Amino acid sequence: MNSKMIKRHAKITIFMHWFNTFCWFFLLATGLGLIRNDDLQLTGGWWSNLMVSLFGSAETLLLVHEIVGLVWAGAFMVFLVFGFRKYVLPFLRQIFTYSPSRDLKWLIKKNIQMTLGYKWLKRLGFTPDIPEQGFYNVGQKLFAVVSVLGGIVIVVTGLIMFLSNILIDNTAIVQWAILIHFVTVGLVIGGLLIHIYMAAISPDERPAFFSMFTGTVPEDYAEHHHKLWYDEVKTAERKAHSA
In the complex, which residues of this chain contact ligand HEM (CB under 6 A)? Answer: 8, 17, 20-21, 24, 136, 140, 143-144, 147, 188, 192, 195-196, 199-200, 208-209, 211-212
CB of 196 to ligand HEM, least distance (A): 5
CB of 91 to ligand HEM, least distance (A): 8
* 195: nearest Cα among 208, 184, 183, 213: 208
Which helix (DSSP H) or strand (DSSP E) does residue 6 occupy?
A: strand 5-7
Distance CA 27, CA 10 (A): 26
CB of 119 to ligand HEM, least distance (A): 27
Residue 174 CB coordination number (10 Å)? 17
CB of 229 to ligand HEM, least distance (A): 10
For residue 154, the Cα-to-chain-centroid distance in whole angstroms is 14
DSSP state of 87: I
Residue 52 vs 195, nearer CB to ligand HEM: 195
Distance CA 191, CA 180 (A): 17
Residue 62 vs 144, nearer CB to ligand HEM: 144
Residue 91 vs 126, nearer CB to ligand HEM: 91
Residue 174 vs 233, nearer CB to ligand HEM: 233
